[in-house]
Amino acid sequence: MAPRANWKGYLKLSLVSCPIALFPVASASERISFHLINRETGNRLRQQYVDSVTGDVVEREDRVRGYEIGKGDYITFEESEIAEQALESTHTIDIESFVPRAEIDEVYFDNSYYMAPDDKVADEPFVVIRDAMRESGMVGLARVVLYGRERILMIEPRHKGLIGTTLRYQYEVRDDKAYFDSVPDLKIPAEMLKLAEHIIETKRGSFDPSKFEDRYQDALVELIRAKRAGRPLPAAPETKAPSNVINLMDALRRSVETETGRGQPAKAPAAPRKESARAAAKKAPARSPRPKRVKKAG
C-alpha cells in the first residue's frame, strides 16, 4: 500500500514550479496504543464535548471556534471565516531564500517530511531544483501551511528526493541562558579530563539506528502476550538509582576500569606529571666554567 500524503500542492523556485506531495518521515502506527474501557461492561469509552456550564453534550454542528478576550468572554469564528484567510503557502511552497545549512541551529528543528513529485510532468523541474540545491550546497527556506498553521520549511536534497523540515519560530524557542547561566566556570584538572576523554574513546562507535530497540515497547508487547495467554505477568525490572559521586577522581578511575577491553582492566592514560629536578637539570643549557681564583703572592 502506497504511503498517504498529508499535503499536496506546488513547489516553486522563482518561475519554475512543479506539483509535489509531502509525506511524514516518522510513523507512529507501529507503537502500542491503548483504549479507555469501561471496567464493568468491557465497552470502549467515547469522548464527547460538554458545555462547561450546563453540562449538556454539544453536537458537531453547534461547535464554533472562540478566542478569549476576557474571563469567559469570547469572540467566535465559523470554520468558513478562518478558511477564507488561507495564505498562498496553503497550496504553494515558494522557496524564498537559500542559506548555508550550518547557519540553522538545530534547536529550531521540528518535524520532517519527504518531498516527492506528484506526477510525471513534475519529474524534470523537481530534479532541476534538487540538483541545483545539491550543487550549491545550500538549503532553501520557504513557508507552508500544515495543520492550520503557517510554518517555516527548510528544504534540502536527500537521495533522489527532497526533505523538508519545519522550523520553530523564534518566539517558540526558549532562551538557553535561563538554564545555563547558573553553570559555573570551573577549571578542571588535566588528569580528570584525560580520564573522561579515555572513557569516551572506549565507547566510540558509529551511529546505527538498528542497534537501538524500543525496550519499553518490547516490554508492553510481552505484557500483552502474557495477559492474553493467561500466564503470570512479567516481573518489573529492577532499577538502581545512580549512586552519588563523592570523589569524582575516584569515580572516573573506576569507570575506566569498568570500560574494559574484554576483561582486561583498561589502562588509564598517564596523567601529566611535573618534571623532576634531575630531568630539568639535564635539559638546562651547559654553563661556562667559572675562572679559577689565583692566589696573590704575599
Quick one: which H or E segment has residue 79? helix 79-83
> What is the value of pTM for the model shown?
0.70
58, 88, 166, 190 from 54: Cα distances, Å = 10, 41, 41, 69
* Structure confidence at residue 260 as a pLDDT band (50, 70, 90): low
| Distance in angstroms (rounded) separating the CA atoms of residues 71 and 135 | 56
Q: Strand, coil or helix: what is 103?
A: helix
**Topology of the domain comprising 7-27+85-172:** Ku70; Chain: A; Domain 2 (2.40.290)
Using an 8 Å Cβ cutoff, are 163 and 115 in contact? yes
Tens of pLDDT, residues 38-68: 999 999 999 899 999 999 999 989 999 998 9
Task: Give the mean pLDDT of 220-225.
Answer: 85
* Structure confidence at residue 219 as a pLDDT band (50, 70, 90): confident
279 or 235, which is more confident: 235
Average pLDDT of the chain, as a whole number: 83
Task: Give the mean pLDDT of 67-83.
Answer: 86
Q: Give residue 296's pLDDT.
A: 47
Using an 8 Å Cβ cutoff, are 138 and 75 in contact? no
Q: Give residue 295's pLDDT.
A: 47
> Where do the structural domains in the chain lie, given as residue ranges?
7-27+85-172
